Structure 1
Amino acid sequence: MNNTDTASTKTTQTSEDKLSWVYLINLVFYLIPIIVGNMQIWEIGVSLLTLIPFVYCYFWAYRSPRDKAHIPILAMIALGILITPINTGSLSLFTFAGFFIGFYYPLKTATFCFFALVAALGALNLYIGIEHYYFVTYGSLLIAGVGLFGIAERKRVEAKCREQQSQSEISQLAAMLERERIARDLHDIMGHNLSSISLKAELAQKLLDKNQQIQAQEQLKELNQIARESLSQIRQTVSGYKHKGLTSSVMLLCQTLRDKGLSVSLEGDVPQLNSKVETQIILSLTELCNNIIRHSQADLCSICFSESATDITLEVIDNGKLKQLTEGNGLNGIRERLAEFQGRLDYDLTQECRFSIILPKQGNLIE
């Protein structure tokens, strides 16, 4: 359980504890015979003292686990039986026991317990010698009514627990998806940037070996710039990836490929996409270009944009020697990105390496 769940549980428990004090207002019926009856002083004293262990048992029952709730419930019933000969307002105590019976036990068990409790009231009625059966009649109705309320309260609490569990699962799922997004974005971004850093460092070393210090310094400056941009992109990825736009990003990718020694051409007009789609396209193109640098052994590459009446197509084509492909995290990540927009990734390795991103023109795809 995370900190949010713990705080939510504590808040819920505090709210329920406040309600538990409110329910004790029903003890006013226990006090009526004391106020309006002709009870002796010692009877009043015993009646009031009985409230102390009863309230203790009440909160004991309120916070007990289900398998141990019978102990405080039986204690409340015992207190009610003992005080009844002195104060017939004890019916109030029996109704509290009825509530907890309905709250903790299934309907069949609770119904049996209700009948047993009514039978106990009947026995008390005979023992005390009350001429009329109002004690049993009122008691039965009160126990049944409050017991049903206990059943309803149990269902409410169970529904609330299920809702909290569902919210917790949703939060955990959202956190999991966010972690996957960050991991996927870092893989795409840093794979490309680290390749660029390695390339720049290699070029700088070769230039230094040839005593071409000015050119080497230029490469080191660019390496420093790439490192700074990498740090910025990592921060942006964690807080929600932000980019410089598809056109600018494509130009940077082309320059990176050229630095690697490839001849690069850019064909077609870069489409105007909304920021969310554009972000995913940039990351996808970055992954495809990174794969060319690492795996293709190509010296020619084209990035092509085209549109039809129904689709926008982005193609990355190279003359690499790749004849078969085992999809890894990179390509799987691209498919996951595109699936959100009903897009897809196709590739053809027959004559050249051709990777195609197809986006349907629907929804809020275009800016």
Structure 2
Amino acid sequence: MNTQDTANQSAQGMVHTDMTTNENNHPEKAYKQKTAWVYLLNLIFYFIPIWFMRDDVMRVSISLLLLIPFLYGYFWAYKSSQAKAIYPISLMISTAVIASLFTSGGISFFSFAGFFIGFFYSLRTSIISFIAISIGLWTLNYLVGYPAFYFPLYGMLIVFVVGLFGVVEHNNERIRRQQRQSNDEIASLATALERERIARDLHDIMGHNLSSIALKAQLAEKLVEAGNLPLAKEHLSQLAEIARDSLSQIRQTVSDYKHKGLADTLQQLTASLREQSIEVNVNGQLPEMPELYESQLGLMFTELVNNMLKHGTATECWWQFSHQNNTLNVRLSDNSSTQAIVEGNGLKGIAERAQLLKGAFNYQITDGYQFTISLPLSTDKDS
């Protein structure tokens, strides 16, 4: 069996393999473990030489049985940490050595091991490992007697090439991890600044007013004791006016915070889309609205974005906000490749929330998906 095509095709397949370190809380981890099954399509180049020796029942049976320890080592390595990666990699290499005694397709096993070595270890360690594997390939070629040195030559090529892809992916993963850490630090800093702003606002609003209330109350008490009731009544009236003014300012401030809360939700959802390489365009502004509208819209926005990330194939999306005739219109559209929409609990929940607010939720398929939320806004902002 000529292994040149096997080696070249396997190298092309492994170039797309994506790995992650043992970060149990990482949101991409579950997705990447699912795609681990997809990359096993490279094993077709393990089965090709088996097909050509199908008359040799013993060799075929042993070659197929060796898939069991290899697959175990593969999935073990896929979810392993750097400190423990040596064990699944050793299992894969041992399986590759044994498989190569029966079929030239063993090169495919070596290619997987080479990728994991490049991904988990430093460049120096990886190169030393690749050299050791190359020596092993020449030894196997000597023991088995593959013709024209195809087995060691193309085996070395694929291990080095795919291993370097592992090194590149390791660096990409490190960069992504640093970006996530930076985003977390920025979010923590933003939270701290927001708390400081709230404390400063409350101090500015209430500090002077509470001092005035305390002073007026003490003065009124002394006037009552002195028997000057008309003047005491005047100060009590001023005290009540200050209290009403303070309450109005507190309500206005809280209303501003609530509005900023929905804006923050939209900002976070937009960041989530951009992290998945989806270009986001936002047109228009959110108007001030009651607390119930804020909370329900936040839940609706979150459901729509989650659906886009889960089921869509969009590379670009658009938020459009318009406010006319006391009605808020929100439109979210994207450029996904479309198929018929099957309403699940998510879309039904959005429609129910819109109906709760006496509004409407609609969707249509054009060059992508388009979702529209229309809500009549009450002028009572405290409702």
Q: What does residue 91 of structure 1 align with?
A: 107
Q: Distance in 2 between matches of 1:154 and 1:33?
A: 32
Q: Deviations over 1:116-168 (max 9, x none)?
A: 01111111111112232111111111111100110111011011001111111
- Higher alpha-carbon deviation: 93-102 or 36-45: 36-45
Q: What does residue 224 of structure 2 align with?
A: 208
TM-score norm. by structure 1 comes to 0.58
Q: Distance in 1 between matches of 2:257 and 2:104?
A: 72
2:117 counterpart of 1:101: yes
Q: What does residue 310 of structure 1 align with?
A: none
From 71, 84, 95, the equivalent of 1:68 is: 84
Q: Distance in 1 between matches of 2:163 and 2:103?
A: 22
Q: Distance in 1 between matches of 2:122 and 2:195?
A: 42
2:175 counterpart of 1:159: yes
Q: Deviations over 1:169-217 (max 9, x none)?
A: 1111111111111222222222111111112212332343245556545
From 6, 27, 33, the equivalent of 1:11 is: 27
Q: Distance in 2 between matches of 1:224 and 1:166?
A: 49
Amino acid at match of 1:123: T
CA contact (8 A) 2:53 2:60 kept: no
The answer for unaligned runs of 5 or more in structure 2 is 1-22, 259-383
CA spacing shift, 1:99–1:200, aligned 2, 3 Å: same
Greater radius of gyration (CA): 1
Q: How many residues align?
A: 236
Q: Percent identity?
A: 49
Counterparts in 2 of 1:348-367, with a 5 A limit? Answer: none
CA spacing shift, 1:224–1:149, aligned 2, 3 Å: same
Counterparts in 2 of 1:174-189, with a 5 A limit? Answer: 174-189=190-205
Amino acid at match of 1:121: L
Amino acid at match of 2:147: E
Q: Deviations over 1:200-241 (max 9, x none)?
A: 212332343245556545544543443344345445546647
Question: Secondary structure in 2 aligned to 1:11?
Answer: coil
Q: What does residue 129 of structure 2 align with?
A: 113
CA contact (8 A) 1:61 1:69 kept: yes
From 80, 93, 103, the equivalent of 2:96 is: 80
CA spacing shift, 1:120–1:198, aligned 2, 3 Å: same
Q: Distance in 2 between matches of 1:56 and 1:15?
A: 19
Q: Deviations over 1:34-79 (max 9, x none)?
A: 2333353343333233222212211211222212211111110001
2:165 counterpart of 1:149: yes
Q: Distance in 1 between matches of 2:255 and 2:83?
A: 47
CA contact (8 A) 1:182 1:237 kept: no
Q: CA RMSD in A?
A: 2.6
CA contact (8 A) 1:26 1:92 kept: yes
CA spacing shift, 1:169–1:208, aligned 2, 3 Å: same
From 166, 169, 185, the equivalent of 1:169 is: 185
TM-score norm. by structure 2 comes to 0.56
Q: Distance in 1 between matches of 2:119 and 2:38?
A: 17
CA contact (8 A) 2:115 2:162 kept: yes
